[in-house]
Amino acid sequence: MRVPQHYKQPTWQRFFAGAAIGAVISWCVFLFIFGVIQEEQSTIIDEQKRDIEELKNSIKIYQEEYSKLNKEAQQKVTVQNIEVHIVNGKKYLPKQFMITNIEDDVKKNLSDLIAKDMESVYDNHFLIERIIENKIYKNDGKEYKLEMIKFMLYTTIYIEVEISFSK
């Protein structure tokens, strides 16, 4: 028995030619569809990369703002400065530099309160009052004592005192 030769028959030649042309056309269609899908995917990836970069930048900005606000909040809850004012200083001390010296001395005594949180300063305000009122100041042979009238606490401690002769 012999296998018939198909290459001489035109029907088989048309079948194989049609299959080959169909394979080439289907391969071209596949490449076109695959290319379109890949282009869409690359466009989506590029958009996502841009979105990620924008989000990273906004996160960075928010983190900087957050740390800046934390620093400001930290400064707001701590004592930054101390101000002392003698209300009736001109009545007892005729010279301004004497009043200034006493105010500076009180500030120096309370300088440990700078950079402390307001809660601990408020808890110790009776101690602060005693520190101010128990000290006796000597000037020109006279002794003076201070009495705290007003105590205001914020980032700056503001203290008003009255001066009088010590007994």
The DSSP string of 135-157 is: -EEEETTEEEEEEEEEEEESSEE
Structure tokens at 163: 């001066």
Task: Write down the pLDDT at residue 4.
Answer: 63
Q: What angle do the packed helices 125-134 and 96-109 form, to 10 degrees?
A: 140
Q: 């300063």: which residue's tokens?
A: 121
Question: What is the DSSP-derived secondary structure letter of residue 3?
Answer: P
Q: Does residue 140 have a pLDDT over 90? A: no
Question: What is the DSSP-derived secondary structure letter of residue 2?
Answer: -
Other beta carbons less than 10 A from residue 93's beta carbon: 21
Instruction: Give per-residue pLDDT as tens, 71-93.
Output: 887 777 888 899 999 999 888 88
> For the whole model, what pTM was predicted?
0.58
Q: Does residue 152 have a pLDDT over 90? A: yes
Instruction: Give per-residue pLDDT as tens, 4-45.
Output: 666 667 787 788 889 999 999 999 999 999 999 999 999 999
Q: Does residue 3 have a pLDDT over 70? A: no
Task: Write down the pLDDT at residue 10.
Answer: 79
Arithmetic mean of pLDDT over the chain: 89
Show me where the domains of the chain are located. 1-73, 81-165
Q: Does residue 1 have a pLDDT over 60? A: no
Least confident of 28-42, 46-60, 114-128: 114-128
Torsion of CA 96, 97, 98, 100, to 10 degrees: 90
Q: Does residue 165 have a pLDDT over 60? A: yes
CA dist 163 and 167 (Å) reads 12
Q: Is 165 strand, coil or helix? A: strand
Task: Write down the pLDDT at residue 13.
Answer: 79
142 contacts 165 by C-beta, under 8 angstroms: yes
